[in-house]
Amino acid sequence: DVKVTQSSRYLVKRTGEKVFLECVQDMDHENMFWYRQDPGLGLRLIYFSYDVKMKEKGDIPEGYSVSREKKERFSLILESASTNQTSMYLCASSSPGTGDGNTIYFGEGSWLTVV
Amino acid sequence: DQQVKQNSPSLSVQEGRISILNCDYTNSMFDYFLWYKKYPAEGPTFLISISSIKDKNEDGRFTVFLNKSAKHLSLHIVPSQPGDSAVYFCAAIRSGAGSYQLTFGKGTKLSVIP
């Protein structure tokens, strides 16, 4: 079974703090993703990476950055947290290719509250 | 422009009855479709998928139907159980595209009433 692990499940941070969300996958997947989920807005892609040290912006990259130093690890960074970044953050991974390669596997999510 | 639409934000169904969750898409290039299920405070889990070469795919109590001409797919759950209460996301992609191009709907919250 694919395992995507998000190290922090629940975080409370102050406005202006730098926040790191860590994610590790154990399936040797090339692709990794960060989404956020908000009620009524569905899943929105923040950033993705298709290889080590490679990153691409998703639909809502503003206020975020990412780091992928190792294939299995993908970090999301909030340089200066703001209250509108209070959300559930979901890390995911997939292998390249068609068909089942389009299936994305998600971690359990990280609830971030910015006060 | 929303390319994958789930027009019902919520749905309530009696236990034992059929649940039908609908999804419409606008991009005719989409040819692979997935459903994900999400419980509160957990990440989405893959439920079932269908390729455009089929019009039906079944997995136990879950069946997905695809109507390409109408650009419509639906997820049927029979019989519905209280444990099926969750948010269901429909997703679509064009074969050959990178997984980052998987486009999600906004979700439908299913409540199965005992």
By DSSP bridging, strand B108-113 and strand B10-14 are: parallel
Provide φ and ψ at B82, rounded to 5°. Answer: -55, -35
Is the Cβ–Cβ distance between B79 and B15 less than 8 Å? yes
For the ranges A36-40, A62-66, B40-44, B96-100, the maximum mean pLDDT occurs at A62-66
Q: What is the pLDDT of residue A113?
A: 97
The one-letter amino acid code at A72 reads: E
- Average pLDDT of the residues in A63-87: 96
**Which residues from chain A sit within 8 angstroms of residue B100, using beta carbons?**
31, 33, 45, 48, 50, 56, 58
Beta strands in chain A (DSSP E): 4-6, 10-13, 19-25, 31-38, 42-49, 56-57, 64-70, 73-78, 87-94, 105-106, 110-114
CA distances from B43 to A6, A89, B51, B108 (A): 10, 9, 24, 15
Tell me what percent of the residues of chain B surpass a pLDDT of 90: 85
For residue A16, the model assigns a pLDDT of 97
Between positions 37 and 76 of A, the ones with CB within 8 A of B are: 37, 40-43, 45, 48, 50, 56, 58
Dihedral pair phi/psi, residue A102, rounded to 5°? -85, 0
Which range (A5-9, A92-96, B64-68) has the least confidence? Answer: A92-96
Q: What is the mean pLDDT of chain B?
A: 93
Alpha-carbon distance A33 to A38, whole Å?
A: 16
What is the pLDDT, as a whole number, of residue B2? 83
Q: Which of B1, B81, B83 is CA-nearest to residue B42?
A: B83
pLDDT of the residue at A102: 66
pLDDT of B90 higher than 70: yes
Tokens 């998987």, residue located: B102
Report residue A100's pLDDT band, with 50, 70 and 90 as the boundaries.
Answer: low
Residues in chain A, how many? 115
- Token duo for residue A59: 């639909």
Please report which helix (H) or strand (E) contains residue B104, including its range: strand B103-104
Percent of chain A with pLDDT over 70: 93
On the question of pLDDT at B86 being above 60, the answer is yes
Neighbouring C-alpha atoms within 13 Å toward the C-beta of B66: 23
- pLDDT given at position A58: 93
CA-based Rg of chain B, rounded to a whole angstrom? 13
Residue A17: per-residue pLDDT? 97
State mean pLDDT over B31-52: 92
Would the CB atoms of A98 and B32 count as touching at under 8 Å? yes
Residue among B41, B51, B99 whose CB faces A101 most closely? B99
pLDDT the model gives residue A104:
86
By C-alpha distance, the chain B residue nearest A102 is: B99
Q: Residue B73 — pLDDT band, cuts 50, 70, 90?
A: very high
What does the pLDDT look like over B12-30, one tens digit per residue? Answer: 999 999 999 999 999 999 9
* Chain B positions in Cβ-Cβ contact with residue A8 (cut-off 8 Å): none
